[in-house]
Amino acid sequence: MKLLFEDIDEPGLNTLPIYERRGGYQALREALALAPDEVLGQISESSIRGRGGAGFRMGQKAGFLPHGDMDKYLVCNADESEPGTFKDRELMQKSPHMLIEGIVIAAYATEIRRAFIYIRGEYEHQADILEAAIAEARDAGYLGEDILGSGHSLTLVLHRGAGAYICGEETGLLDSLEGKRGNPRLKPPFPAIEGLYHGPTLINNVETLATVPHIIRMGGEAYAKLGTETSTGTKLVSVSGDVQRPGNYEIELGVSSRELIYGLAGGPPSGRSVKFWFPGGSSAPVLTADDLDLPYDFDSMAKAGSMLGSGAIIVVDDSHTVLEVALKVAKFYAHESCGKCVPCREGTNWTLKMLERIQSGEATPMDLDIMASVCEQIIGNCLCVLGDAMAMPIGSMIEKFREELEAEIEAARERADAAALEDVVPLGVADERAGPMPVH
């Protein structure tokens, strides 16, 4: 069943007239006819879990916000920077009003009057589309003062980031939104208590908020019947890597991972097979071909030792080495670390250096033990999850493919030794590269 992507490719859906023709903003009208607590009740009843990575229930998260007349904020995290994730980009580009409608409903349910969309700096085209859609919504009375005569008002501002991956972390995002360097904050306090400008703040992902209008239209109980008991609803999944039909797919949570990779995305190229795959973006511990029949949902991925994360499947076929992929992952996170905390700053760089030692033929099998220990010490000891995002996949590769890595260490040492021997010149023999031996 498709909800978010049902009409996603209809020409002009990014404009208000076409969106309204497809039933757009009807959910907002229905929500405004209810009390805010009733709207929040529908969201809670749906049991929707956050679609940005952590999988925390939206209704429960919103329920942490204090009640009463105070400055509260809603922030949409559109800083989609996780390698392998590109679902929010398509959603914002093709159906920006769906996101805006979801933001207005969520703000009404939590009695918030100021909202922000923090969008990834590289998404210039999508940001332009969102700016135009916000202007359309404001002119039509869906934003601004006294929305549709309800007495509820909402100011929505689009803020463009500058391309730092760390700003996808919710507190780093808040610092960036305040005009500071985007560094993660120490928690607690959590954003729901003290977030943007020291006020209570609800932070949700693009997909999560875009789902809200569908929950209101269907009703929370009906939405909860989609998917599984603990992973309700539909999910946008970005499938990339070694597949024949990479792209975004909307599925009901709980479908077979094999169906996603082979049935929808076409599987690896002819003659190749799945070696391993990331079920939740580059930060997720890898799974192997033996795990392809697992249901694709939050709990099944967690029980398998990985995570669903943002819903980005990266497939690696048997034409690649584990070292090749591990180096790419380590380089990305070492480069993107903000450097604020020691475990992440030092751990990501040490891990990268040890992987480079393997590549250059300087490593021994003991380096794998050291690297696994470093990854273990990083996890859970950083200010944010960026360090974990490097340590978890690298640690899982060492665990699942140690034999291959040991063979790579041996092969690289043999190549290095052979190269060194080529440079050895026997005593008394002239080296052609150095010219003739001097005559005395």
Convert the pLDDT of each residue in 328-346 to its tens digit: 999 999 999 988 899 899 9
pLDDT of residue 386: 87
pLDDT interval class at 426 (50, 70, 90): low
* Domain boundaries 322-420, CATH class: mainly alpha
Residue 154 reports pLDDT greater than 60: yes
What letter would DSSP give residue 411? H
Which pLDDT belongs to residue 431?
Answer: 57
Common-topology check for domains 16-224 and 234-317: no
Q: Classify residue 41 by burial, with Cβ atoms within 10 Å: 0-12, 13-18, 19+.
A: middle
Tokens at residue 208, please?
């999560």
Residue with tokens 């940001």: 127
Q: State the pLDDT at residue 428.
A: 60
With contact defined as beta carbons under 8 Å apart, do 202 and 102 qualify? no
Q: Are 127 and 88 in contact (CB under 8 A)?
A: no
Q: Can you give the pLDDT at residue 362?
A: 94
CA–CA dist 48, 34 (Å, integer): 20
Lowest mean pLDDT among 38-52, 59-73, 222-236, 394-408: 59-73
In 3D space, the residue among 232, 245, 238 whose CA is nearest the CA of residue 282 turns out to be 238
What tokens does 25 get?
Answer: 């903003």
Amino acid, single-letter form, for residue 254: G
Mean of pLDDT values over 405-417: 92
Query: Which of the four pLDDT bands, split at 50, 70 and 90, describes residue 73?
Result: very high
Which residue from 207, 166, 202, 203 is spatially nearest to 51, judged by alpha carbons? 207
Provide the mean pLDDT of the chain.
94
Per the omega criterion (within 30 degrees of 0), is the bond before 11 cis?
no
The share of the chain scoring above pLDDT 90, in percent, equals 85
Q: What pLDDT, on the 0 to 100 scale, is given for residue 385?
A: 86
Query: Confidence class of residue 222 from pLDDT cuts 50, 70 and 90?
Result: very high
229's CB contacts (< 8 A; 6+ apart) are none
Higher pLDDT, 163 or 108: 108
Rounded-to-integer distance, Cα 190 and Cα 205, Å: 17
Mean of the pLDDT values across residues 5-19? 97
Whole-number percent of the chain with pLDDT over 70? 96
- Res. 440: pLDDT tops 70: no
CB 108 within 8 A of CB 148: no
pLDDT of residue 434 exceeding 60: no
Structure tokens, 221: 């109980």
With contact defined as beta carbons under 8 Å apart, do 184 and 176 qualify?
no
Backbone angles phi, psi at 278, to 5 degrees: -95, 120
pLDDT of residue 436: 62
- Domain borders along the chain are 16-224, 234-317, 322-420
Q: In which element (H, E) is residue 419 found?
A: helix 402-422
pLDDT confidence tier of residue 134, bands split at 50, 70 and 90 = very high
SS3 155: strand
Q: Which two tokens stand for residue 268?
A: 């690896």
Report residue 1's pLDDT band, with 50, 70 and 90 as the boundaries: confident
Find, among 165, 96, 174, 80, the residue nearest to 133 by Cα: 96
What's residue 53's pLDDT?
79
pLDDT of residue 355: 96
Q: Which CATH architecture has domain 234-317?
A: Roll (3.10)
pLDDT at position 430 is 57
Find the mean pLDDT for residues 290-300: 97
Q: What is the pLDDT of residue 422?
A: 78
With bands split at pLDDT 50, 70 and 90, how would you rate the model's confidence at 427?
low
Per the CB < 8 A criterion, the answer to whether 170 and 77 are in contact is yes
CATH 3.30.1180.10 for the 16-224 domain, yes or no: no
Phi and psi at residue 320, to the nearest 5°: -110, 150
